[in-house]
Amino acid sequence: MMKPVSLDDLKRRIAAEPRVRLCQLPTPLHAVPRFSAAIGAAVVFLKRDDLTGLAFGGNKSRMFEFVLADALKAGADTIVGGAGLQSNYCRQLIAACNSLGLEIHLVLRRTPGQSESIQGNLLLDLLAGANLHVIDSADPEHTLQRTRIFALADELRKEGKKPYVVRMANDQDLSSDVISYVNCFCEIVEQCHELNVTPSRIYVAAGDTTQAGLELGKRALGIPVVIQGACPDHSGGDAARQIAHYANQAARRLGLDCTVEAGDIKNTEDYVGKAYGIPTPEGIAMLKLMARTEGIFLDPVYTSKAMVCLADHVAKGIVGKDETVIFLHTGGNAALFAFAEYLDTAELSSHLSYEK
């Protein structure tokens, strides 16, 4: 066990890192009493990282403050990367690049059967003028996509540009991404102090760097809050190992004498459903419950499933009746518009009556 550092010390270490300002921080932390009552929980607070500010918000915008500072430091004028066709990450990356005057090229992966309609994140990507190259791929290792991203970077280099490849093609060192969530943990600590609340648990939709940052923040400050991640995909138990690995990378970069063990990470795949990117009926029900009790939208792929995890843990008594819980809303709700077919249109139509 490391000797904890003070909040000021941790903030000083983060402040020493290269960073560009992209987000409206701190994001709000507030209670959702009607939703808490509806799931039978004592007090649920939402940490609103869906309101980070750029292009409908989300957790990735925090990361780009550090990642794109690294790119600018390396002399880049063009960013190259990629993810899925409806990626929240890409939407926010495009917005971040536009606001910094960086050119951006993305290789997006369309999985078999995925709708080609220009909706949700894809619509926003195009409105923001990004250069998109779509490939068809069912390969879970994304080998073709990675190859295409590096080939694209080479082509741009030949044109005289200075490309910088970001993940998913370049995920050797993700300490910048993680540090942004150590910073988020510091914000949560300060806000809880101001609100005079002591949360015992934080729930989050996460498979790697977001949870890694929270885990490192909690250990660095010695705060005994339980962090429960709900993985958006079936990682075969790999998520905990990845989270620990990335947290340890960031610990070294921040000079923290701290080791995160995979065995100490709570990250469940129980709420994924069929697969990554396919909404679950329970998740859709949770999404509607949040919208109908609080007027706040969750997303169909990440946060709605993580909220099912929290509600289920309340129902099973894993979260006690007197506990204060924070749910970190990581955003993603712009994707909703591309998922209408999953949202139980029959039930939605039952609220509609056309007057003659």
Ligand X SMILES: Cc1ncc(COP(=O)(O)O)c(C=O)c1O
| Positions in the binding site for ligand X (CB under 6 A) | 58-60, 88-89, 205-210, 299, 302-303, 330-332
CA 94 to chain CA centroid, nearest Å? 16
The DSSP symbol for 238 reads H
| CA 271 – CA 319 distance, rounded (Å) | 17
How many angstroms separate the CA atoms of 218 and 213, rounded?
9
Rounded CA gap, 337 and 172, in Å? 33
- Residue 204 CB, shortest distance to ligand X, in Å, is 7
> What six digits make up the tokens of 338?
């591309």
By beta-carbon proximity to ligand X, the closer residue of 279 and 332 is: 332
Give the shortest CB-59-to-ligand X separation in angstroms.
5
Q: Which is nearer to ligand X, 145 or 210 (CB)?
A: 210
Cβ 168 to ligand X shortest distance, Å = 10
Residue of closest CB approach to ligand X: 332
**How far apart (Å, rounded) are the C-alpha atoms in residues 40 and 38?**
6
Minimum distance of ligand X from residue 182's CB (angstroms): 13
Tell the smallest beta-carbon distance from residue 328 to ligand X (Å): 9
Cβ-based nearer residue to ligand X, 5 or 310: 310
At closest approach, how far in Å is the CB of 231 from ligand X? Answer: 8
In the complex with ligand X, the residue whose CB is nearer, 61 or 137, is 61
Q: In what order do the strands lie in the sheet with 78-84?
A: 131-136, 103-110, 78-84, 163-165
Question: Which residue's CB is nearer to ligand X, number 29 or number 328?
Answer: 328
Q: What's the start-to-end Cα distance of the chain, in Å?
A: 70
Quick one: 59 or 176, whose CB is closer to ligand X? 59
Instruction: Give CA–CA dist 306/279, Å, rounded.
Output: 12
**Distance separating alpha carbons of residues 137 and 153, to the nearest angstrom:** 20
Nearer to ligand X, 171 or 190 (CB): 171
Shortest distance in whole angstroms from residue 206 CB to ligand X: 4
CB of 352 to ligand X, least distance (A): 28
Nearer to ligand X, 5 or 333 (CB): 333
Residue closer to ligand X by CB (options 205, 325) is 205
- Please say which residue, 82 or 156, places its beta carbon nearer to ligand X: 82
Q: Are 35 and 329 in contact (CB under 8 A)?
A: no
H or E segment and range at residue 70: helix 59-73
Q: How far is the CB of 318 from ligand X (least distance, A)?
A: 21
User: How many angstroms separate the Cα of 145 from the Cα of each of 139, 140, 202, 281, 334?
Assistant: 9, 10, 34, 31, 24
Q: Rounded CA gap, 92 and 66, in Å?
A: 14
Q: Are 307 and 285 in contact (CB under 8 A)?
A: no
Alpha-carbon distance values, 207 to 157, 168, 251, 275, 301 (Å): 32, 14, 18, 14, 12
Question: Shortest distance, CB of residue 242 to ligand X, whole angstroms?
Answer: 9
Gap between the Cα atoms of 46 and 30, Å rounded = 6
